[in-house]
Amino acid sequence: MGWFESLRRGLSKTRNRFLGSLESLFGAYDEVDDDFFDELEEILILADIGMETAVEITDRVREESRDRRLKKPAEVYEVLKEQIADMMRAEDPDIIEEGAMNVLLVIGVNGVGKTTTIGKMAAQFTSEGHKVLLAAADTFRAAAIDQLKIWADRSGVDIVAHQEGADPGAVVYDAAQAAKARKADILLCDTAGRLHNKKNLMDELGKINRILDRELPGAHKEVLLVVDSTTGQNAMQQAKLFAETAPITGIILTKLDGTAKGGVVISIASQLGIPVKYIGVGEGIDDLQRFDPEEFAEALFTQGAEE
């Protein structure tokens, strides 16, 4: 199965919830008018896209339809798809800089799939020919360390890990030394993502960043936040809170296959000003892929034969 088909199937719960209402709306009107756009806005809000994003999409579709002098629902349908893709588009340089040392700091609260995501990324980068090293710097959970060791074995990559409760900065320091010694080009760091105390989180990430800047000067660095899309607009709020605390450069959305609330991707991508870098639509290694807004919009609007 290709990636687009996996994405389309992974979005089936979101699509069925979203398209069912849209098809009823578009089938009820011979020509679009103000009532049509009011109903469209309501459908978008109920699809867990969020009030602010739903209003912006509706305004864009209304304005574009007016500029093109479109009146038929089928024509406006295509405009809706175009505008959703456009709102998710962002300035998005590649997550990996070729020919450089790359450091990826991954944060996120427990249960969002952070450690599994790191494991999948490690496996993918390795298959692409990169030399990857993992740093188990989420030392507050023994399960996180053990889980990352399993992924390291599965992916055939080295890992630097200390005991539960160890200083995360010490883990990152040792990992930086190991990355230089073993000539790794990607250092993937699992870090704690507690939100109960913003100052502690900021202090911890600040310490880690200072160590990395000192030990790996000039490295290309990304701070990636993993959020669980099944929580809908709560994922949006969580992303906002982390963005206030940490210099996030990208977001990874997991578990899109398990929710009808996948519309949250649109609000996160359009409202936060932080690019969505990866999305996950299943348990397999290949079910975590780089986010493409046009591809996502196409999959969201594309029914399959089995549907």
User: What was the pLDDT predicted at 197?
Assistant: 57
Q: What is the pLDDT of residue 305?
A: 45
- Residue 93: what pLDDT? 66
What pLDDT score was predicted for residue 54? Answer: 92
CA-wise closest residue to 207 among 179, 246, 181, 242:
246
228 bridge partner residues: 254
pLDDT tens for the chain, residues 1 to 307: 577 788 888 888 888 888 888 889 999 999 999 999 999 999 998 887 889 999 999 999 999 999 999 999 999 999 999 999 998 887 666 889 999 999 999 988 878 889 899 999 999 999 999 999 999 999 887 788 999 999 999 989 999 999 998 999 999 999 999 999 999 999 999 987 665 556 777 788 888 989 999 999 999 999 999 988 888 888 888 888 888 877 889 999 998 888 777 888 888 888 888 889 999 888 888 889 899 888 888 888 887 545 5
Q: Are 101 and 219 in contact (CB under 8 A)?
A: yes
Tell me the torsion sign for CA atoms 306, 269, 279, 48. Answer: negative
Tell me which residue has tokens 């490690």.
Answer: 122
**3-state DSSP call for residue 97?**
coil
54 CA to centre of own chain: 20
Q: Please choose, from the candidates 296, 305, 236, 306, the residue with its C-alpha nearest in 3D space to the C-alpha of residue 18.
A: 296
Q: Model confidence over 36-64: pLDDT tens digits? A: 999 999 999 888 788 999 999 999 999 99
- Closest to 171 in 3D by CA, of 215, 132, 113, 203: 215
pLDDT of residue 245: 76
pLDDT at 161: 95
Say how far apart CA 24 and CA 102 lie, in whole Å: 48
CA quadruple 96, 102, 108, 112: dihedral, nearest 10: 50
pTM of the model: 0.88
